[in-house]
A = this chain, B = another copy of it.
Amino acid sequence: MAGNQTQKKAIVFIAEGSEEMEVVITVDVLRRAGVRVVLLAVGVTSGPVVCSRGVGMVPDAYLGDDTVKIGTFDAVVVPGGMGGAEAISQNAQVRSILAEFHAQHKIVAAICAGSLAIKTAGIQAKAPQPLRLTSHPSVRAQLELDFVYKDDRVVVDNNLVTSRGPGTAFEFALALVSLLAGDAKAREVAAPMVLNFSV
């Protein structure tokens, strides 16, 4: 698939304290679907990133690396894990990337505490109507005044895709596959993973 001009491309952010299950499930499922994924480190400039439960993960690139042409990507994803979500959502460059992707009708996705980045990016201020989203229940109070807060496991509001926690990460990743590569691809990818739900 490499070099295929129709291949979709996604950035998955990672920072110290990111929830490793949410990171890995998203990256892995998207790659199973043929999406080119760049795991992009925020707030770390070399070496592996230590996630929320101590797993060290090697990013593909570091934010600020000129070789990553962010404007050419189709989707950006913010994982949870409180420490990671705070580092990512407070980063000025990330905030402008999220706002720009949303303005261009590209996919902006977040899971768990990662949904905080939707708020800090100021996306809702420019939206024509209130945006619908969800998050980990623990950060609901920080979001429900600014958004139409939903309790669904995955919420798709046009190109804004949000979800709740590690246990919803497969549904979240497959929703992204549906948007980027179609429902048939999502079903094809889901089957060999032996999930307990249908797509």
Contact = CB atoms under 8 A, between A and B. Distances in A.
Given A31-B54, A32-B53, A48-B58, A165 B192 contact: yes
Interface of A: 19-21, 24-25, 27-28, 31-32, 39, 48, 52-58, 136-138, 153, 164-168, 170-171, 190, 192-197
Given A55-B27, A58-B58, A196 B194 contact: no
A166 B193 contact: yes
A157 B52 CA distance: 32
Given A167-B170, A167-B195, A196-B167, A31 B53 contact: yes
A55 B55 CA distance: 12
B196 A28 contact: no
A192 B25 CA distance: 17
Contacts of A167: 170, 190, 193-196
A80 to B, nearest CB: 10
Contacts of A190: 167
Contacts of A170: 166-167
Contacts of A54: 31
